[in-house]
Structure 1
Amino acid sequence: MPCHAQPSKLQLAGYADPQGAISIQYNGDTIDPYFALQALLLARENGLDISPYARQWADWLVQRQKPDGTFDRYCRRGPVWAPCKTADADDALVALWLKFLDTMPAELKKNPVWQRSYQKSVATLSHLIDPVRGIYLVSPVYQHGLFMDNLEVLSYRPKPGGGTALLDTKKLARNIHTIFWDKQARHFLVSTQSGQDAIARTFYPDDIAQLFPLLFKFDHLPTDPHTYYEQWMHQYRATWLMQSHADFSWGLVAVVALDQGDPTSASCWLRETRAARNTSHWIVTDEVARQILAHKGVTAAGPEVSCQ
């Protein structure tokens, strides 16, 4: 697999507009800041140059942060992006925003608008702490914790000595394991809400949640990471590769596969989702995943390869 000394530039034509907004889907009419931040951070962490979009997106989004430090989702109204829904989960979105601003320390240091947003966002996140469980809650309205959201918050590393009221990273990691790991069933619960056993499991959120620890290098696993990954793939690979036919394509999993030394599964994803690109089954994170695989020399599996 080739090694690239210079990062490839991320290409988001059809997603990013001239003002810096980034839509969820190709030529889409909806923006969810969560997915734009997820995509940009994933690209940067995997060797793509996000500079053509990073500052413009930050400037676009910071202007739309609400007084309470949260963000909305936005729909196109003619030439205007207007708020149309509240965020799906404030905790993960605000944490990813902080993490994203931290990727541009020089700009953050000299940009007072970004600095004020950063301080406001830390305060917002601190207000979502569940003082009893020691994890983060979805929002002031939805007073429960989500496993995947808390992993995303954990991936944000507050600056040491910052004097913030956020949870200690090591304690948060331990609390996530304590609260969400079901010892009897030997899987992670997706939520602190009761009654999960009575609900039929689905790929999202139940099955994909089991893979999220690998995406964020969560070290409280029942086995070593590679064994854990192989067990997940053995159980869910076929289901994952079929998702693009009826749901989303879940390119995040292909990135995890490559990170775990499994380029075959990543190649299978490229083959099985070829028809989904730029359709309603493809989001900006999938486009980034495709470009990460290309940057790292992964191509679509040939017809002779079994992807079952």
Structure 2
Amino acid sequence: MKTLLALLLVIATYVHQPTGAAELVLTDYQRPDGSITTYFAGDSIDPYFAAKALLAAQDAGMTTRSAATRWIAWLLPRQHADGRFDRYCMKEGQRFVSCQEADADDALMAAWMELLVRSAPPKGMPPAWQASFDKASRHLEKLRDPGSGVYLISAKLPVALLMDNVEVSSAFKAASNYRQRHGDAVGAAGWMRKAEQLDKDILRVFWRPNQGYLVSTQPRAQSESEFYPDAVAQIFPILADIKPASRPHAAAYQLWMKENRMAWLQMSEVDFPWGLVALVADKMGDKDAIACWRMRSIQFRHGKHWNVLEEALYLAFEARLSPEQALAPPTPGMRCR
């Protein structure tokens, strides 16, 4: 294990990231051994949130070279032979041990696969990374429902979720891009076919022209509708470029912001700030929405309504600003209340 750790740390310098981008440093979330806690100076680790935070920071333009490689080095030896991961709790002696099964195998397998291919060195994934990717991919395929074509949460929870399947689609597209970068046109085409077929299945299973997206294949009463997952799910597919032919991203985004902007900006007071919505805003070029999110959520930073995903996005958006811009008042006309 020590040899593997040393190898993974050495190649950190060569992980491909945007030139000139700010480097993500997750102070008091990432520990010296590379593990990433879910909460500030926390005592629990959920591998999904760690991987999602690193991917989101990359999407928002940050370099995650060191953080991602150290995290991969910590988690990779803890992967089960069947590809799964657990969640971890701190025990006496400041040591993390397995304490729970993953919340959702499909989303975690997808996030891990995507993180590996997007964090790989220019020469490709080391053999240990490739073996881990393959194990996760095989486990994910066991969760595919042959009737609907979409992926189920886990073997114990045979329910399909919209947002999880969007993440699976994103992982397939990232795998295709990785193969294309390394001159494997056949492999790239294979992964893209899987992504395109899944996108069709997602729309067939979850999209309702007069209702929007269903969030789950499990029936839910209208009275159960909440900001998460119901409202968030309506624009989440934008992140993986999934859209019905009749619903362009710009129109869907504008309608969502018209209906949900104020509720979203107030979420940090009662739930989490939902920085993933700010990431959608970033993809849509809505700088005001990102500025409002930063301004309203900063007071909750590192508190009980804040996790490593919010932190990674906060740091990514902050890295784009000069010190003067970071302290500047809102732009006149910007609706943040």
Which residue pairs with 2:218 in the alignment? 193
Q: TM-score, normalised by structure 1?
A: 0.91
Q: Select 2:313's aligned residue among 272, 289, 301.
A: 289
Query: Contact conserved, 2:60 with 2:282, CA < 8 A, in 1?
Result: no
Query: Contact conserved, 1:267 with 1:300, CA < 8 A, in 2?
Result: no
Query: Contact conserved, 1:47 with 1:292, CA < 8 A, in 2?
Result: yes
Query: Contact conserved, 1:129 with 1:135, CA < 8 A, in 2?
Result: yes
> Is 2:184 the counterpart of 1:170?
no
Q: Select 2:271's aligned residue among 247, 268, 273.
A: 247
DSSP-derived class of the 2:78 partner:
coil
Q: Within 2, Cα distance between the matches of 1:272 and 1:102?
A: 34
Identical-pair percentage = 36
Q: Within 1, Cα distance between the matches of 2:20 and 2:161?
A: 37
Which residue pairs with 2:290 in the alignment? 266
Q: Within 1, Cα distance between the matches of 2:75 and 2:313?
A: 23
Matches within 5 A, 1:102-251: 102-106=117-121, 109=124, 111-157=126-172, 158-159=175-176, 161-162=186-187, 168-185=194-211, 187-194=212-219, 196-220=220-244, 222-251=246-275
Which residue pairs with 2:60 in the alignment? 46
Q: Within 2, Cα distance between the matches of 1:98 and 1:12?
A: 21
User: What amino acid is aligned across from residue 38 of structure 1 in structure 2?
Assistant: K
> Is 2:17 the counterpart of 1:17?
no
DSSP-derived class of the 1:135 partner:
coil
Query: Contact conserved, 1:268 with 1:300, CA < 8 A, in 2?
Result: no
User: What amino acid is aligned across from residue 64 of structure 2 in structure 1?
Assistant: I
Q: Which moved more, 1:139-148 or 1:211-220?
A: 211-220
Q: TM-score, normalised by structure 2?
A: 0.84
Q: Number of paired residues?
A: 303
> Is 2:329 the counterpart of 1:302?
yes
Q: Within 2, Cα distance between the matches of 1:280 and 1:53?
A: 23
- Which of the pair is proportionally richer in helix? 2
DSSP-derived class of the 1:74 partner:
strand
Over the residues paired in the alignment, what is the CA RMSD in angstroms? 2.3
Q: Within 2, Cα distance between the matches of 1:167 and 1:141?
A: 28
User: What amino acid is aligned across from residue 231 of structure 1 in structure 2?
Assistant: L
Q: 1:69 to 1:205 in 2, by over 3 A?
A: same
* Alpha-carbon offset, residue 262 of structure 1: 1.4
Q: Which moved more, 1:154-163 or 1:71-80?
A: 154-163
Q: 1:110 to 1:216 in 2, by over 3 A?
A: closer
Q: Within 1, Cα distance between the matches of 2:51 and 2:115?
A: 7
Q: 1:269 to 1:109 in 2, by over 3 A?
A: closer
DSSP-derived class of the 1:83 partner:
strand
Which residue pairs with 1:35 in the alignment? 49
Which residue pairs with 2:99 in the alignment? 84
User: What amino acid is aligned across from residue 219 of structure 1 in structure 2?
Assistant: K
Q: Which runs of 5+ in 1 are unaligned?
A: none
Q: Which moved more, 1:100-109 or 1:227-236?
A: 100-109
User: What amino acid is aligned across from residue 83 of structure 1 in structure 2?
Assistant: S
Query: Contact conserved, 2:117 with 2:125, CA < 8 A, in 1?
Result: no
Q: Within 1, Cα distance between the matches of 2:297 and 2:125?
A: 42
* Alpha-carbon offset, residue 166 of structure 1: 10
Matches within 5 A, 1:59-98: 59-78=73-92, 79-98=94-113
Q: 1:11 to 1:47 in 2, by over 3 A?
A: same
Q: 1:142 to 1:306 in 2, by over 3 A?
A: same
DSSP-derived class of the 1:219 partner:
coil
Q: Within 2, Cα distance between the matches of 1:130 and 1:176?
A: 12
Q: Within 2, Cα distance between the matches of 1:140 and 1:108?
A: 35
User: What amino acid is aligned across from residue 103 of structure 1 in structure 2?
Assistant: R
